[in-house]
Amino acid sequence: MMLSNEDIRAVIDKGELKISPYSSKWLRSSGITMHLGAELLKPRAGYVVDVTKPEPPPYDSVIITQEKPYLLQPGEFLLGHTYQNVTVGSSLGFMIEGRSTLARVGLTIVQTAMMVYPGHSDRPVTLELANHGPNPILLFPKMKIARVVLFELKSPSTERYDDKGKYREQQSVGLPIFNQEIMSDDDFE
């Protein structure tokens, strides 16, 4: 069941969901508005992505400010992160999605990785930013970038993401981590 604004208030009050910083002004009828953090990672072109190797292709860090936003070109892809840190309790499903206003000019903020697992604790959410529109888009820190929808799980999760999730150590925008991306035949028995 998807949570309403009143349900979201209740899970925040109980500590099942923590967002920092948080303002009740960001609460919507069935979601919460999230904002863009200041660090972006820009992948360098000309490298082959090989998921059997532990190293991702190289990325360059870009720090944006109000005076120096990033001009995201059509067809360009970056990694970013939410300005807010998030903690998701064991009874919640947390999905992050783009905002309609930005989608209407071609900006997507998640390609496929919309789920933030229960047990994600006190860190930002990595975003996959891409400009699918015909015009460049300026990216500013703290701009409204995403909407979160929350679901109540039928039963609490017994697995916490931070116990063994591969991105649990990342405290800002995170590079891809390749480990066991290709399974052996034994994994399917």
| pLDDT tens for each residue of 120-165 | 899 999 999 999 999 999 999 999 999 999 999 999 988 766 666 5
Q: Kindly state whether residue 33 falls inside one of the protein's structural domains.
A: yes
* pLDDT cut 70: percent of the chain above it: 85
Side chain identity at residue 47, one-letter code: Y
- The pLDDT assigned to 56 comes to 86
Q: How many CB atoms lie within 10 A of CB 13?
A: 9
Residue 55 designated active-site: no
**172 in any annotated domain:** no
Give me the half-sphere count of Cα atoms (radius 13 Å) on the Cβ side of residue 4.
1
How much is the pLDDT for 189?
64
**3-state secondary structure labels for all residues of the chain:** CECCHHHHHHHHHHCCEEEECCCHHHEECCEEEEEECCEEEEECCCCCCCCCCCCCCCEEEEECCCCCCEEECCCCEEEEEECCEEEECCCEEEEEEECHHHHCCCEECCCCCCEECCCCCCECCEEEEEECCCCCEEECCCCEEEEEEEEECCCCCCCCHHHHCCCCCCCCCCCCCCCCCCCCHHHHC
Question: Does residue 178 fall inside a structural domain?
Answer: no
- pTM higher than the cut 0.75: yes
156: Cβ contacts below 8 Å, ≥ 6 apart: 90, 91, 118
Q: Which of 39, 76, 97, 128 is catalytic?
A: 128
In a domain, 182, yes or no: no
Question: Structural domain tally of the chain?
Answer: 1
CATH code, 61: 2.70.40.10
Asked whether residue 38 is domain-assigned, the answer is: yes
Question: Does a structural domain hold residue 43?
Answer: yes
Mean pLDDT, residues 25-38 taken together = 96
pLDDT of 182 strictly over 60: no
| Domain extent at residue 25 | 5-166
In a domain, 171, yes or no: no
Between CA 35 and CA 37 the distance in angstroms is 7
- Rounded to an integer, the average pLDDT of 99-113 is 89
In the predicted model, what is the mean pLDDT of residues 74-86?
96
Q: Is residue 23 part of a domain?
A: yes
